[in-house]
Structure 1
Amino acid sequence: MALWDRLKESAQTMQAQLEAKKNDLKSGAFRDASMAMCALVAAADGSIDQAERQRVAQLIAANDVLRNFAAEDLRQRFEGYLDKLTADFEFGKVGILQEIAKVKKKPTEARAVIQIGIVIGGADGDFDATERSVVREACFTLEIPPGDFDL
């Protein structure tokens, strides 16, 4: 099986797992951590262009699990986190990881945030090394072994 097919299958499997837990993923902390993760993955290489920003925003809006929340609210949070990362990536990343850490004591939410990062990162068929690296950092922040997600 080609790498592209494995990546696509893995993202689909994770999305299905997220959808199965949809009713457990309604907290404000999960919403915020998810948008922080999406921004972190989108800006993983240290920058984000307008096309990538729009693509990730569309993926967020289309994600069934994230439909628990108002689309405009998600967009504003995502954009706010991106603004922090584009202003100063390293400093912004510290704040983003702190936001993600707020779900650490809720294992279902913590794992779902990691899965969302993988789904967003793999949506274009190229879950590249910088995207994997920031998701791995989020795993460490949440005290989840990266190996649980093949990272």
Structure 2
Amino acid sequence: MGLWDRLKDSAQQMQTQLNAKKNELKSGAFRDAGMAMCALVAAADGSIDPSERQRVAQLIATNDVLRNFDPADLHRRFEENLDKLTADFSLGKVSVMQEIGKAKKKPAEARAVIQIGIVIGGADGYFDDHERAVVREACFALGIPPAEFDL
């Protein structure tokens, strides 16, 4: 099996695991951390082009687990996090990581946030080094060993 196929299978497996926990993932901390993670992965290379922004926004709008929340509210939170990252990536990243860290209190939510990052990162069929690095950093912010997710 090629690398792309393994990545696609891994992202699908993460989404399946998220779907199984859907009813547990309804807190504001999960919502906020999830949108921060989406923005962080989208801007992982320090910039985000309009097509990438649109693609991630579409993934958020169609993700079954995130349907627990108002789509307009999710979009607004995603955009706010992206604005922080595009204004000053280093400073914005600190703020976004703090937002992600809010999910640390509930291990199931923390793991789900990491899984969302992997799903978003792998959605285009390529989980690049920048995306892997920010998801790995998020693992540390959440107290999760990156090796648990092969990061």
Normalising to structure 2: TM-score of the pair? 0.99
Identify unmatched segments of 5+ residues in structure 1: none
**Gapped regions of structure 2 (runs ≥ 5):** none
Please give the alpha-carbon distance, in whole angstroms, between the structure 2 residues aligned to 1:99 and 1:65: 19
**CA distance, structure 1, for counterparts of residue 55 and residue 45 of structure 2:** 16
Q: How does 1:140-151 map to 2 (within 5 A)?
A: 140-151=140-151
SS at match of 1:7: helix
1:34-93 Cα distance to aligned partner (Å, 9 max, x none): 000000000000000111000000000110000000110000000000000000000000
**1:112 has 2:112 as partner:** yes
Give aligned pairs, total: 151
Separation in structure 1 between the aligned mates of residue 117 and residue 49 of structure 2, nearest angstrom: 18
Distance 1:17 1:53 in 2: 25
Question: TM-score, normalised on structure 1?
Answer: 0.99
- Distance in 1, Cα, partners of 2:117 & 2:101: 14
Percent identical pairs in the alignment equals 78
The RMSD of aligned alpha carbons is 0.3
Q: What is the CA distance between 1:105 and its match in structure 2? A: 1.2
Runs of 4+ in structure 1 over 4 Å off: none
SS in structure 2 at match of 1:124: coil
1:102 match: secondary structure: helix
